[in-house]
Amino acid sequence: MSRAKLAFVLMLIVSVMLVACNNNQDASNANDDMESDNTKDGNTQEVAEVIELDMWIHQSGEDETNYNKQRIEDFNEAHEGEIQINVEVVMDDGGSSYNDSLNAALVAGNLPDVLALDGPFVASYADAEIIAPVTDYISDEDKEDFVDSIIEQGTYNGELYSLGAMESSVVLYYNKEIFEAEGIEAPTTIEDAWTWDEFMGVAKQLTTEDRFGLNLFMNYGVGEWYTYMGAPFVWSNGGALISEDGTTVDGYLNGPESVEALEYVKSLFEEGVVTLTPSETQFEEGKAAMALGGPWIAVSAESADLDYGMMPYPYSDVPKSPSGSMAYAISSQAEHPEAAYKVMQWMTNEESTIGLSEVTGMPPARKSAFESMESYNELPKKIMRDQVVNTAHARPTTPAYPVLTDAFAQAFHAVALGEDAQSTLDQQVQRVERELRRFNK
């Protein structure tokens, strides 16, 4: 291009820019005049910017996933022009895939604003600064409506980090036909729950050559199920998995109460009332008279047209029962934490908890939801409600929980195989203590 042409092009560009600037100035002046006129008329209007939030929910059963997605759509509709949620369903294979995705997002600096997480791992997420506290956002009235175990599960170092949309429990299911034939009367209240001795006696009575007295679902594998289902044996015996201040497991995980509890579990296998290798539908087929299982067993039993009932979890000194499930939290990287909390609150409000309970069969996380759902005010589900409200015990809130739960699960499995409880727990204490040293500095 010649110098003359280049000069012409540059002059043209400058002219266009000057015209644009003048037009912008004119438009700005016009807008100023309009704003001035609107102010005089008392009609000042501000156009609010829509806050966009990213949200992760874990992949679950189709009905549960679809329900959660629908609730998010309902939120977007109710908050149109204010908040928009962009949701992503993230793979959760029951292992570490979901956690791996979160860790990768943390390192990359692109965590979602709102995320689902497994309740027992709240302390680990909080300590890793993946999630932020919501203590300042929740009202006292709203907090009071959640069952105690949900608040206990979501609290770490005195700060509330998560809220659950549903709770869970493990009850003692029983085959009504078998119980009637054997002349056994099932307890219907926590006050009448069987002691360990009574439980063992009935389990032995119900065990025959072609039927086990009990199913513990050992086929689920060595993992969180063993801690979730099995830890109440320790708690009801006055024991604990970790010290109250969370600094040590020595003298707790391997303390006399814990050892005695696992020796009792061991005796169930030694007496032959339960097997390490039950079939997938052992209870539903009548091959086990009782089953210590979660809410999902009611669903499979009903599908099999089994006439079943529920009893409270058996105990040693004080009735205790399992608790804990998926919860919601706010990312530590959220730019709009108050808006993110509105999402968290929506997904755990009374309407959400009732709907989720109806879809999944899991007990709701709110007291008001229990009052609204007639099925939980009568047997058999009344047993589950009474446990959630009165005997539910949250798993330990410690950043070392992933190692602690694996240690307990390994010990539970070992004693089921016939290993000595004391030596097994002593060995597991060593590895958990090593992990705790990372957080006790």
Note whether residue 36 is domain-resident: no
Residue with the two structure tokens 């000069």: 7
pLDDT over threshold 50, residue 23: no
Q: Is the pLDDT of residue 44 over 60?
A: no
Gap between the Cα atoms of 392 and 386, Å rounded: 9
Residue 31, in any domain of the structure: no
Tally of structural domains, the chain: 2
Q: Please give the Cα distance from 406 to 230 (Å, whole number).
A: 12
What's the pLDDT score for residue 252? 98
Q: What pTM was computed for the model?
A: 0.85
If one counts every other C-beta atom within 10 angstroms of the C-beta of residue 68, the result is: 25
Residue with tokens 């669903």: 299
**Do residues 125 and 161 touch, judged by C-beta distance below 8 A?**
yes
> Do the Cβ atoms of 275 and 133 come closer than 8 Å?
no
Where is pLDDT greater, at 25 or 12?
25
Cα 428 → chain centroid: 25
- Given a contact cutoff of 8 angstroms between Cβ atoms, the answer to whether 249 and 429 are in contact is yes
Residues 383/311, Cβ–Cβ less than 8 Å: yes
Residue among 61, 84, 148 at smallest CA distance from 356: 61
177, 79: one domain:
no
∠ CA(201), CA(206), CA(207), 5° rounding? Answer: 100
Q: Give domain status of residue 26, yes or no.
A: no
pLDDT confidence bin for 328, thresholds 50/70/90 = very high
Domain co-membership, 225 together with 374: no
Q: What pLDDT, on the 0 to 100 scale, is given for residue 18? A: 35
Please work out, in degrees rounded to the nearest 5, the angle formed at the alpha carbon of residue 94 by the alpha carbons of 68 and 246: 100
CATH number at 300 reads 3.40.190.10
pLDDT value for 5: 32
Do the bridges between strand 83-90 and strand 51-58 make them parallel or antiparallel, or are there none, so unpaired?
Answer: parallel
Tell me, yes or no, whether 414 and 381 share the same domain: no
Which alpha helices (H) appear in 304-420, and where do they start and end?
Answer: 337-347, 350-360, 367-372, 381-390, 401-416
Tell me if 85 is assigned to some domain. Answer: yes
Q: Is the pLDDT of residue 35 over 50?
A: no
Q: Is 141 exposed, middle or buried (0-12, 13-18, 19+ CB in 10 A)?
A: exposed
Return the beta strands (E) in 246-388 as ranges: 288-293, 308-311, 326-331
Residues 190 and 74 in one domain: no
Give a yes or no: residue 227 inside a domain.
yes
Assess whether the previous peptide bond of 380 is cis (omega < 30° from 0): yes
pLDDT digits 0-9 by tens, 403-415: 999 999 999 999 9
Q: Is 239 in the same domain as 381?
A: no
Average pLDDT score, the chain: 89
Q: Are 53 and 83 in contact (CB under 8 A)?
A: yes
* Claim to verify: residue 305 and residue 271 sit in the same structural domain: yes
d(CA 327, CA 167): 9
Considering the domain architecture, whether residues 419 and 297 belong to the same structural domain is answered as yes
Residues 383 and 408 in one domain: no
Domain for residue 22, yes or no? Answer: no
Give residue 228's domain range: 171-321+400-436
**Is residue 37 one of the residues assigned to a domain?**
no
pLDDT at 3: 35
Report if residue 125 sits inside a domain: yes
Bridge pairing between strands 51-58 and 114-118: parallel
CA separation for the pair 49, 354 (Å, rounded): 33
Whether the pLDDT of residue 8 is over 70: the answer is: no
First to last CA, the chain: 70
- If asked whether residues 287 and 415 sit together in one domain, one would say yes
Dist CA 14 CA 439 (whole Å): 63
| Residue located via tokens 């003298």 | 251
Same domain, yes or no: 212 and 316: yes
pLDDT digits (tens, 9 = 90+) for 136-152: 999 999 999 999 999 99
Q: Are residues 268 and 408 in the same domain?
A: yes
Q: State whether 245 and 357 are in the same domain.
A: no
Q: What would the mean pLDDT of 359-365 be, rounded to a whole number?
A: 95
